[in-house]
Amino acid sequence: MADKTLTRMDLAEAVHKEVGLSRNDSADLVESVLRHISDALVRGETVKISSFGTFSVREKAARVGRNPKTGEEVPIHPRRVLTFRSSHLMKDRVAAGNKG
Amino acid sequence: MIRSELIQKIADENPHLYQRDVDRIVSTILDEITDAMANGNRVELRGFGAFSVKKRDPRVGRNPRTGEAVTVEEKHVPFFKTGKLLRDRLNGK
**Domains (ranges, CATH) in chain B?**
1-41 (no CATH), 45-92 (4.10.520.10)
Q: How far is B68 from chain A (nearest CA, A)?
A: 25
Residue A85, in any domain of the structure: no
DSSP reduced 3-state for B2: strand
Residue A36, in any domain of the structure: yes
Per-residue DSSP letter, A72: -
pLDDT digits (tens, 9 = 90+) for A58-99: 999 999 999 999 989 999 889 999 999 999 999 999 999 998
CB < 8 Å to B78, chain A: 53, 86, 90-91, 94
ipTM entry: 0.91
Q: What pLDDT shows up at residue A45?
A: 96
The domain containing residue A36 runs over which residues? 7-43
Choose among A50, A49, A73, A71: nearest CA to A63: A73
Contact: B28, A15; criterion CB under 8 Å: yes
B10, B36, B55 ranked by CB distance to A6: nearest: B36
User: How many domains does the structure of chain A reveal?
Assistant: 1
Residue A62, in any domain of the structure: no
Q: What is the pTM of this model?
A: 0.91
B21, B38, B90 ranked by CB distance to A94: nearest: B38
